Amino acid sequence: MRGRIRGLSEAVLAAGPGVWGPLLVVIAMLALVGAAVAAAEVRGAGSQVAGAGVPEFVLGADLPPNAGVEELTATEGATGDRPALSAPPLTDAAASPTPPPAQPRPPALPPVEGDARVPLRPVEPRLLAFAGLSTWIDVYDVEQTAAQQIEIAAAAGVDTLFLQSGKYDSPEDIHHGERFGETIELAHDRGMRVVAWYVPDFVDPERDLRRARTAIGYTSPRGDRPDAFGLDIEVEDQTDVALRTERLMTLSRTLRDDVGRDYPMAAIVLPPLQLDLRPGWWPDFPYAELRPLFDVVVPMSYSSYRGTDADTTYRWSHDNIVELRARAGEPDWPVHLAGGIADDLPEVEAFLVAAADAGVVGAGLYDLATTRPDAWPLLRALRVGE
C-alpha cells in the first residue's frame, strides 16, 4: 500500500499548473465570495492540510480492524446550525456487536501517470447519472448563488450533482423552488447530470409520497428535469421501527411502480457499521428488501465522524461497502460512495483508494459548500467526463 496514495496524488499534481492550477484559482476566488466564511460559521472550521505535500500512508500497519471506530463521543455529528443528516447522538453504542473481520485487500492500484483516474466499475447507460465524481447541494446551501455553486462544480470536473429537492419539514414540496430549477438548468448547461433527492420522515406517508413524486416529475421553466432520483433513508421521527420500515417499503414500491423499471433510482442509506454501533437507530435495516427496488445504493459513509486519519478514512469507507453488499445479498449492487464530511476529511487520497478497492461506480464528498479548494484536484481523479 505504501506509495499507492502517494502515487495517485503525485500523478494528479504532476499534471502541473496547466490542469490543477487554474482549477484552484477559480475555486478559491469563488470561495472568497462567501462560501468559506459561511460554511465555517455553519459547520465550524474544518481540518486544514498544511503545505502542498501529500503525507505518506501505510494502510493497516499494526492496526486492528476498524481502528478508531470505537472512539465515539456524545457530540458525534455536531455541525453547528446545519443538521447532521447521518449522525444523531450515539445513545446505545454499549450494545454494539463485535466488528466484522477485516476484508482481504485487493491488489494495488495500477501506476498512474499524468491525468490520473481512479478505476471505477462501469455502469449501463441508463445509470450514468450515478457514475464518476459527485458533489452535493442541500437546502441549507444558500450562501452562494446557484451560478457560483455550479461554476465551482464545473471547474472541479464534477459529473453528477446530488441536489436536494426538499425534506419532510420543507415549507413547500420543492424547497427553494425557483432556485431548484435554475440549478438544474445551469448544471445541464455545464454537462452535469442531476440527481434530485428527498428526505422523508415516515410520519406522514401521503406527504412523503407527494413530495418524492414532485421531485421526480419536476420540470424547470425551460423544460429541464432531474436525471435520476434518490431517497434519503435515515430519519427516525417515526419511533415505531416496524411501522417506519413498513412505510419505507410501501413508499419505495409505489415510486418504483410509478416510474417503471428503466428510471434510475438510488437508495441513500445509513452505513451498516454505523448501525452496528448504534443498533437502536434502525434495527434490521432492510438492505435486502430495498435492493430490487433501487438500481444504486449510496451509503452515507462519513468517516470523519470516526476519525480523520488515513487508515480510518480507508477502512470506514471500504468496509461499509463490503458489509452493505453482504447484508443486501448482492455483491454486485452498484455503489456510489458518499464520503466526508468534506471540511473534516484531510485524507482525500485514502478515500479515493477505498472507492477504487470497493469497486464503486462513483463517489464524492458531502458537500459542495464544505469541500476545501485543495481537495478538488485529487477528487478530479474520480471523474468520468473530460
Domain count of the chain?
1
Is there a domain that residue 277 lies in? yes
Is there a domain that residue 248 lies in? yes
Instruction: State the residue for C-alpha cell 416529475.
Output: 217
Is there a domain that residue 162 lies in? yes
100: exposed, middle or buried (Cβ count in 10 Å: 0-12, 13-18, 19+): middle
Is there a domain that residue 239 lies in? yes
Is there a domain that residue 147 lies in? yes
Nearest CA among 386, 380, 333, 307 for reference residue 118:
380
Q: For the chain, give percent helix, strand, coil, nearest 5.
A: 40, 10, 45
Q: Which residue has the higher pLDDT, 245 or 83?
A: 245
Domain that holds residue 248: 120-382
Beta-carbon contacts of residue 242 (< 8 Å; ≥ 6 apart): none
CATH of the domain at 127: 3.20.20.80
pLDDT tens column, 80-122: 333 333 333 333 333 444 444 444 433 333 333 346 799 999 9
Q: What is the rounded average pLDDT of the residues 280-308?
A: 97
DSSP readout, 264-327? -EEEEE--HHHHHHSTTSSTT--HHHHTTT-SEEEEB--GGGT--SHHHHHHHHHHHHHHHHHH
Is there a domain that residue 111 lies in? no
CB 214 within 8 A of CB 177: no
Q: How far apart are CA 308 and CA 194, in angstroms?
A: 29
Give the three cell numbers for residue 3.
506509495
Q: What is the pTM of this model?
A: 0.76
Is there a domain that residue 360 lies in? yes
Give the three cell numbers for residue 62.
499494526
CB 136 within 8 A of CB 232: no
Beta-carbon contacts of residue 185 (< 8 Å; ≥ 6 apart): 220, 221, 222, 224
For residue 344, which phi and psi values (nearest 5 degrees)? -130, 40
Residues, the chain? 386
pLDDT tens column, 157-175: 999 999 999 999 999 999 9
At residue 11's C-alpha, the angle toward residues 9 and 15, to 5°, is 115
Give percent above pLDDT 70 in the chain. Answer: 70
pLDDT tens column, 127-144: 999 999 999 999 999 999
pLDDT tens column, 342-369: 888 889 999 999 999 999 999 999 999 9
Q: How far apart are CA 199 and CA 136, in angstroms?
A: 14
CB 109 within 8 A of CB 349: no
Give the three cell numbers for residue 218.
419536476
pLDDT value for 21: 52
Give kind and range of the element (H or E) at residue 134.
strand 132-137
Give the three cell numbers for residue 301.
459513509
State the pairing for strand pair 132-137/362-366.
parallel
CB 368 within 8 A of CB 329: no
Give percent above pLDDT 90 in the chain. Answer: 67
Is there a domain that residue 227 lies in? yes
Q: How far apart are CA 56 and CA 313, in angstroms?
A: 14
